[in-house]
Structure 1
Amino acid sequence: MSDDPLLRPADAMAKVTVDEVAALLDVLGVQRRRQQLPQVTPRTPLPGAEGSSNVASEAEWV
């Protein structure tokens, strides 16, 4: 073990396995974050093919 206070936690963690960390977190009641699919954001529907009478187009097609 190192006498440097900043290196002591790193030395201790270097000896811990992933399974030991998982077991400790389970004992402490920490829940693993579930990987969720992204939520689909509802979108405003586009106007129909007939268009809207109050929309003016300033585009000039060349």
Structure 2
Amino acid sequence: MSRILRKDDTLSISSSRKLVDLRNRVIHGYDTVSDETIWGIVFRHLPVLKIEVQNLLNE
């Protein structure tokens, strides 16, 4: 996401900065991300991201 946004910051992906931040927290092994937080993101935000990516691919 970070690389995509550097190439084209006009893309309309909601919460893109939050996606990058979460990835960084998870990948670096920080213990500040609870299982409940991850599941909440999966159920609430992943479906929205999927739709936004599909819309971008269809452009």
Q: TM-score range by the shorter chain?
A: under 0.3
Greater relative CO (CA pairs within 8 A, separation 6+): 2
Q: Which protein has the bigger helix share?
A: 2
TM-score scaled to structure 2, two decimals?
A: 0.28
